[in-house]
Amino acid sequence: MATHNATSTPVRRPARAGYLAAVAALGYAAPHFWWGAGVPAMFPGDFATAPQGNLEAAVGYWVMGALAAFGAVLSLALVRPWGRRVPALLIAVPSGLAAIGMTLWGFTYFAMQYLISVGRVVPAPAFAAKDAHPQAVWGLFWYGLFVVWGVSLGIAAWQRLRARRAGL
């Protein structure tokens, strides 16, 4: 996003949103890598019943961790000078779509938790047992991270498009 000073020279605003999106992406990626390595720290549920050593585990841990790490690079490309080599539409549009999806994913979790808590929705017994596990509280952190990641990525994508229009 650009502002104008007294001489009408465009001034680039700080790129905090892109950096926050990158930190959130790495915050999501790191645990997936250690879960893939068998470390249960911060796992949202019973790690003993989670998939281990099969294709489902490889995708759930390693591929999702790698995609999130790529998301961190993408977030930085929105705000760093080296990212200007990539056409703005090619980077900002997919980032904006991802931002919408992640934000909705996070908010949907909180909406569902609210509906369960007020008795408007009754979860299936299998999900109720998972939600009763003491480690399930980490779900609040992870879905909150999706909201932060999505909103900050969306702001960074919007700022990149605005800077493109301003000629920055």
Q: Which long-range contacts (CB under 8 A, 24 or more apart) does 62-68 make?
A: 62/32, 62/33, 62/36, 64/28, 64/29, 64/32, 65/28, 65/29, 65/30, 65/32, 65/33, 65/36, 66/29, 68/25, 68/26, 68/28, 68/29, 68/32
Q: Which helix (H) or strand (E) holds 66?
A: helix 64-79
Residue 138's pLDDT is what?
76
Q: Which helix (H) or strand (E) holds 27?
A: helix 16-36
Residue 92's pLDDT is what?
92
Q: Which tokens is 147 given?
A: 């909201």
Residue 130's pLDDT is what?
65
For residue 155, the Cα-to-chain-centroid distance in whole angstroms is: 13
Residue 168's pLDDT is what?
58
Residue 64's pLDDT is what?
92
Residue 1's pLDDT is what?
47
Mean pLDDT by 10 residues, the chain (168 residues): 48 77 95 88 77 80 93 95 90 95 94 87 73 70 93 95 78
Residue 121's pLDDT is what?
84
Residue 129's pLDDT is what?
61
> Residues 6 or more apart from 136 whose CB is under 8 A from it?
44, 45, 130
